[in-house]
Structures are given as C-alpha cells and as structure tokens.
Amino acid sequence: MNDQPETALSIWERSNIVRSFRWLCSWRGIRRVLIVLAWIVTIIALLFGEENWRGRHAWNQYRQAAEARGESLDFATYIPKPVPDDQNFAATPFLKSFFQPNISILTNDLYARAADSIPGARNAQDKSPRQFVDLVAWQMASAALQSGPLKPAQEFKTDQTGLAARAAAAPAVLEGMKPDAAEFAEIRAASAREFSRYPVKYDLENPWAILLPHLGMTKMVCERLKLEACAELAACQAGQALSEVKLALSLADSFKSEPFLISILVRAACVKIAIHPVWEGLAEHRWTDAQLQELQARFMAYDFLADLQQPLKAERACADLTVDLVKKEGLGRFIPSGWLCQEKFNYCTLFDAQREGVVDLVAKTISPGRVASNYDELTRQIYGGDKLKTLLHHRYIAALMLPALKNVHAKIAAAQIAANQAALACALERYRLANGQFPETLEALSPQFISHPPHDVISGQPYKYRRAADGQFILYSVGWNEKDDGGVPGKTLFDQTQGDWVWSYPAQ
C-alpha cells in the first residue's frame, strides 16, 4: 500500500512532457528559446528586407528604363491641357450639360420615345450584313405616339426597306427629330472650333473614380444623327445628311485627346455609327462627287492604331497609381512597400508583354495571332495552374486588371477597317460616277480617285475586292481569324471568331 504513491510518482517524474516543461521553465531553457526566437525574427526580418529591396530595385529599374524610352508612368502627364472656351468644341452649353447630376438629354424626340420599341434601333452598327434603317417602323411608332406613350411590350418592325417606302416614311421621322434642332445647331456651330476638352475632373486621387458621363451621351447623340441622316438621304436631302455625318464624326473626335481606353473605344463605336448613313447613301448612289471627296478625306485621316498607344500608356499609369492607393487604405498600410513595388513591376512587365508584337505602327498592321498568344502567356504567367501563386508572386493587380484588355485590339482593328472600307467605297463610287460602272480592280482607282489606298490592317495586304454579277461589288478584310473566307461574313459584321469583315450592298 505504501509503495503505490511512490510508483505513481516515479512514472510521473519519468514523463517526457513534464521533463520538457521543467526544462522550459528553467533559466537555461528560457535562454535557448529566446535565442531561437531571436534567430527566427532575424531571418524573417532579413527575408522581408530582401523582398522589399528586390521589389524596389526591380521597380526602379523598370521605371528608369521606361523614362529612358520617353514613356511616363505618371498619370498626370497624360491629362489633356486646358482649352479656352472660345476654342473648345466641348464648351458649348449643351455638351457641358452632360456633366450635370441626374441630367436627362433629348427626352422629347422620336428616338427617345420609340427606340426601345424598334428592334435593332440601338447599337446596330455591327449587324451583319448591313441593312437599311427601318424608317417605316419609325413612322409607325411616330403615329402610335399620337395616342400617348408606347407600351413596354409594343414593337414596330417591317421588311419595307425599299427606297419608295423609306422615302414616304422619312418626313414623319424628320418631324419627330425636330425637338433636337436647337441642340444640333449649337454643336454644329461649335464643331468648327479647333480643340475639344470636356470638363472631366482629372484631379481626383483615384483615377478610377473619374466620371465620364459624356461618352454614353455622345454616343446617343450620334445614334440620333444617324437616324436623321438616313431619313434625309431617303428624302433626297444628301447635303443635310452630309452635315449630320460630319457632326457625328466631330462628336466622335471630340474626346480624341482623353487618356482613357474607354474613350477611344466609344470613339471607335461612334465612327462606326456615322459610317452607316454613308453606306446607305452609297448603296443608293445619293452622294455627289464633291461630297464623296469630303467623306473620303475624313475617313482616310483616321489612324486608330496610332491613337490607341497613348490611352494604353495612360492605362498602365492608372494601374501603377492604383497600387499606390492600396498602400494608403486599410490593410494596405501594413503591406511591405517592396511587395507593392513587385505588384507594379509585374503588372507593367505583363502589360508590356501583352502589347509585344501586336501593332506595327510603321506598317500599320495588327496581329490577331499575336494577341491570342500573348493572352495565353498572360494567363499562364498570372495563374500558373494555382491561383494562390497569383498572390504569393505579387501578381494580384495584374490578374485583376489585365484580362479586361483582351478585346481592345480587335475593336480598334474593326474601327480602322470600317474607316478604311468607307474611304475605299467612296473612291469606288467616284469611279462609278465617272465611268458608269465599278472598276475591275482596286488598282484602277489610283491615282485619280485615291492616291494611297489603305491596306487591310490585319493581313497587311490590299483589301480583297471583286465586282459582282449584278454590277455591285464586294470589298472585305480577312477578319480577325486571318483567313480568307471568300467574302463570307460571320454572325456579326466584325465577328472575332469566323468570317470576313465585309462591305457590300443589297442586290438591286
């Protein structure tokens, strides 16, 4: 009985846990633990220090190299300079009103009251093949509005796109657009001004908080001008239609100097909107030679590939500024500055890799194949099969922002090709006016009708052209698939997966 406690105590004393605890509580144990902790802290500090140094070093080297190339990484350098009101197209009361809070513009015209009831009324510039605006449907909507607002489910659509039907419908459409007359007259007078700068608040600390309400509103104005121009062409008012087209192009170019990708993309969309009435006038031989020369010169002046470069550089600068803002907010204040420098360095190098070999500004070409291969490499670099590596390798900002750039080059290529084809179509119509028929080849246009014909920015070769059996012609680019499909379009006018990008007219 007396041995039992001693046996139990002996077992307890022999326990490794107890021995370890007693050792840790001894001065020798505490000292060794402190030494180990000190080494761990030192190693971590060294790793943090090395990471900070490596990040700052990589970023500073990149920044110095960029500056040596003449490229700024400071977003402020891309902000357009102020323009005196008397020289500023965008300083008119109507255009300045776009920046008023909760503003609604042009709410009383036929377009505002009926566009939702006419299929394809909005954003129809990429529909394949091109079709005449359904003026008869607009006339029906105008008649229905005499009885009050249209019902949400009410729809107007016809197949009466012949000239006689559209000519009969045109007066009602033009009458419905008269509420816009004062605003259009105002901006038409201002379009002669040399410069344009909207009252955008560029001085915000966060560039992504900058509001650009004028882009969507300008596009809506261009849609109205397109409708009015098409109605005027049907009503044999080509001179007035030309004025609407020129005004739409001036509006499109009014934000050419803005440093935002969205600005050039909306500008490209507005140019394509303005091209549609040009197409309708060409399809029905409405334009005179003088009018065609004016339109041709306007479209030949577009160089979207060159214009894209400045917004791309500004986009890169915005991303760098975004990383700096992260450092000032919330948990970002506890992130080592070197890590954030690594984020900026990785974003910029991956951004540059996306542009590598895509655009040749000298040859004026763009490579869809290079766009695709660069994007595939971007995906591999960012994720590498493990999304955790995105964060650990300091590529979070790149993963967040760079994928949005995937389709930018395709949209810019489409705009450039649309402008090129419009210019060539004007030259072809001028040849027809002079010779009674379209030429057998595009070479016949030079030098009398066009001195330097534009080439397909995708293939780098002349646009494909052939005269059709009905006396019309087919003019086309090989499209984003870089394959000659014989002039067969894809599902949309500028399909990115299949078909050619075609300019043609309905059979007569």
What's the chain's average pLDDT?
89
* In 69-115, alpha helices (H): 93-96, 110-114
Predicted local distance difference test score (pLDDT) of residue 384: 67
Which residue's entry shows tokens 């099969």? 385
For 264-297, the three-class secondary structure string (H helix, E strand, C coil) is HHHHHHHHHHHHHHHHHHHHCCCCCHHHHHHHHH
Q: Compute the average pLDDT of residues 276-283.
A: 98
Hey, what are 284's tokens? 């029905």
Task: Give the domain ranges of the chain.
Answer: 84-287, 309-409
pLDDT, one tens digit per residue, over 42-99 is 555 545 655 666 778 888 899 999 999 999 999 999 999 999 999 999 999 999 999 9
Predicted local distance difference test score (pLDDT) of residue 116: 94
Residue 1 confidence (pLDDT) above 50: no
CB-CB contact of 291 with 298 (8 Å): no
* In 69-118, alpha helices (H): 93-96, 110-114
**φ, ψ dihedrals at 305, nearest 5°:** -65, -40
Confidence band, pLDDT 50/70/90 cuts, at residue 107: very high
Predicted local distance difference test score (pLDDT) of residue 48: 61
CB-CB contact of 125 with 273 (8 Å): yes
pLDDT, one tens digit per residue, over 181-215 is 999 999 999 999 999 999 999 999 888 899 999 99
Confidence band, pLDDT 50/70/90 cuts, at residue 6: very low
Report d(CA 291, CA 286) in Å as an integer: 10
Residue scoring higher pLDDT (153 or 109)? 109
Report d(CA 144, CA 118) in Å as an integer: 12
The Cβ of residue 171 has, within 10 Å, a number of other Cβ atoms equal to: 15
359-369 burial: b if 16+ Cβ within 10 Å, else e: beeeebbbbbe
Predicted local distance difference test score (pLDDT) of residue 336: 75
Report d(CA 106, CA 98) in Å as an integer: 11
**DSSP 8-state secondary structure symbol assigned to residue 359:** E
CB-CB contact of 453 with 496 (8 Å): no
pTM: 0.89
Residue scoring higher pLDDT (153 or 337)? 153
Candidates 292, 315, 328; CA nearest to 430 is 292
Residue scoring higher pLDDT (217 or 334)? 217
Candidates 116, 173, 99; CA nearest to 139 is 173
**φ, ψ dihedrals at 121, nearest 5°:** -65, -35
In single-letter form, the type of residue at position 106 comes to L
Confidence band, pLDDT 50/70/90 cuts, at residue 36: low
Residue 8 confidence (pLDDT) above 70: no
The Cβ of residue 191 has, within 10 Å, a number of other Cβ atoms equal to: 18
Q: Which positions ≥6 away from 244 have C-beta within 8 Å?
A: 184, 225, 226, 228, 229, 232, 277
Report d(CA 393, CA 381) in Å as an integer: 10
pLDDT, one tens digit per residue, over 206-249 is 888 999 999 999 999 999 999 999 999 999 999 999 999 999 99
Percent of the chain's residues with pLDDT above 90: 72
pLDDT, one tens digit per residue, over 281-330 is 999 999 999 999 999 999 999 999 999 999 999 999 998 888 888 777 76
Q: Which positions ≥6 away from 341 have C-beta within 8 Å?
A: 52, 55, 56, 58, 59
Candidates 301, 194, 282, 214; CA nearest to 242 is 282
Residue scoring higher pLDDT (362 or 397)? 362
Residue 136 confidence (pLDDT) above 90: yes
